[in-house]
Structure 1
């Protein structure tokens, strides 16, 4: 079967996205993939900001755009609702806070077939959502190895055609993947894609990143939203480990080690004063690394004035993730909270 004859289902989870949903719909309408081979499910989590009313205008205008309700509000439920309704040979998840090139669908479908892959995706180019120093600094921090570790999909260059990876943003899947390994885990408000892709790889699935395919991803616009987002990423980390029955990627544990390196020496110094020197050493080493990476990233962008803001973005993301992970350890590994009740955590947008 020719790749451009594949029927594709697009799944777009959203909640209170009235400022962004116009752009994602515009991106979809501008795709160079045959419209008769596309169905779009916009799955709304009980929005109350006018998102639903805006979507309905397009549902009435285009028969391939469909609206579904997500009474549970959060992403994994929306994804599973979409998958259960989808008729496509290929299922692509889209995020409302991103901008996609016109060849996005056709490129993903092409590489899914060419590589005989189970999931393919493009590279995130993290951009500020508003024109402020805070927003710009957050976008820079989330595009830096010091900010996000070795997350290939955030850092990859276009020097190679494709890279086999452990995860990709959003994802373009063969339909039979969900028949083979099941749906997304609905307890994971965050990290559901990481857990799913680890399951997929364990089952022998292949995941590839296409570095030439760029997705503009709009980062959080302030530090409080950045904190909440990374806290949630960290919080669900231990639950992912429990479900997979193994540790995942090293980069996901480093922020927790950093937070412990700040807390433990201070506590131990109450019993044995020299531990305070260890704390000073840790903080000094972190500051040196933060200044070095922050300056390097800002000079590349001719934005040296943003160095202090980027350093703070580094610190907020690292500490929030680490604290979230520690709370997840307490809630899931000690209290077994996930076995006792439904997890009710709203996203940070």
Structure 2
């Protein structure tokens, strides 16, 4: 980091992995070019093998602005793209950007100020999910509710201070290189794992609510289910690899999934008991899925109804989709039953 006596701001390198993101990448890049940060900057895009017009769009953006550089990410995964972009960049502050994110104009300025004030190795803030359709608004509400993604600071906010992990991240380049960059074997959850290494080597990961990044949710149920199934697989894999570093909240969705499945099976067995003339006491098993349905309904009334009736209806579908896809994926990943899947679930 530069000496405080030097009256200059450190340069920042924005690094962005991109794969099949033609709908969102222009807005993400525009938000970087519109930053009010007074120091020098560069944008390095790691372009994966896209098939939706992303390649042509990114090349067009780079052709009209010399501060935008493109590197080929032939692997296509997020951690591989991040590492390529970091190695090709030059400035002492590295700002991770997602193609689905839109940074507010003061993001880089506040982040660099926070790094200089706190001495943190990584600074991040709140993932502010914002949807444009009833479905996306329902997903955004689920993200921002405590019942949706566990109520962590990066989703619901909180006071500034040291944190386990943060959304995206603004890093000191020297510390990134020191701990070995992102683990390219981990296709999802690589942020959490990198922050674990930073903290284990004496570094500070700092959350500040002043950093608020607009995030665009997946546009349909299929892509949402795929996202959370993949995320669950890798969260289970990480829980198995690093058992001492995982909080109890990571086990809530898989426990819920197992409970609902077991309860439903017991209830069905109770129906069989009634048919054969035995005491149908196993019907009490239906109490578990009934209780979960009640939780979903109450959550929809508390959060899902805020964006209109259509979003309310979608919330009733979105919340179980997130819970069950994440929970099933977690169980499979934790039991190491997805070796052939995880190699292809980087996005």
In structure 2, the residue matched to 1:55 is 58
Q: Give the TM-score normalised by the residue count of structure 2.
A: 0.89
Alignment CA distance shift 1:268-1:284 (3 Å): closer
Check if 1:17 corresponds to 2:21. yes
Shift of 1:90: 1.1
Unaligned runs of 5+ in 1: none
Check if 1:213 corresponds to 2:211. yes
Shift of 1:108: 0.6
Please give the secondary structure, in 1, of the residue aligned with 2:36: coil
In structure 1, the residue matched to 2:49 is 46
Shift of 1:344: 2.4
Q: How many residue pairs are counted as aligned between the two chains?
A: 335
- Give CA-to-partner distance per residue, 1:109-142, whole Å, 9 cap, x none: 11011111111112111111x42x2222111111
Tell me, in whole angstroms, the C-alpha distance in 1 between the residues paired with 2:343 and 2:15: 22
Check if 1:291 corresponds to 2:292. no
Shift of 1:194: 1.2
In structure 2, the residue matched to 1:320 is 325
- Give CA-to-partner distance per residue, 1:23-72, whole Å, 9 cap, x none: 1121111111236x212110111112222222222323322211000011
Aligned partners of 1:195 and 1:244 also within 8 Å: no
Shift of 1:305: 5.1
Alignment CA distance shift 1:279-1:271 (3 Å): closer
Shift of 1:250: 2.0
Alignment CA distance shift 1:50-1:271 (3 Å): closer
Tell me, in whole angstroms, the C-alpha distance in 1 between the residues paired with 2:125 and 2:141: 19
Please give the secondary structure, in 2, of the residue aligned with 1:55: helix
RMSD of the alignment, in Å? 2.3
Aligned partners of 1:268 and 1:275 also within 8 Å: no
Aligned partners of 1:24 and 1:96 also within 8 Å: yes
Aligned partners of 2:150 and 2:249 also within 8 Å: yes
For residues 31-42 of structure 1, the aligned pairs below 5 Å read: 31-34=35-38, 37-42=40-45
Tell me, in whole angstroms, the C-alpha distance in 1 between the residues paired with 2:307 and 2:187: 37
For residues 168-317 of structure 1, the aligned pairs below 5 Å read: 168-267=166-265, 276-299=282-305, 301=306, 303-304=308-309, 306-317=311-322
Shift of 1:246: 2.7
Check if 1:5 corresponds to 2:9. yes
Match of 1:28 among 29, 32, 45: 32
Alignment CA distance shift 1:342-1:76 (3 Å): farther
In structure 2, the residue matched to 1:163 is 161
Q: Give the TM-score normalised by the residue count of structure 1.
A: 0.88
Shift of 1:102: 0.7
Tell me, in whole angstroms, the C-alpha distance in 2 between the residues paired with 1:108 and 1:278: 53
Please give the secondary structure, in 2, of the residue aligned with 1:124: strand
Aligned partners of 2:137 and 2:307 also within 8 Å: no
Please give the secondary structure, in 2, of the residue aligned with 1:166: coil
Tell me, in whole angstroms, the C-alpha distance in 1 between the residues paired with 2:139 and 2:267: 34
Deviates more, 1:173-182 or 1:225-234: 173-182
Shift of 1:264: 2.6
Shift of 1:185: 1.3
In structure 2, the residue matched to 1:148 is 149
Aligned partners of 2:236 and 2:332 also within 8 Å: no
Aligned partners of 2:304 and 2:312 also within 8 Å: yes
Alignment CA distance shift 1:275-1:172 (3 Å): farther
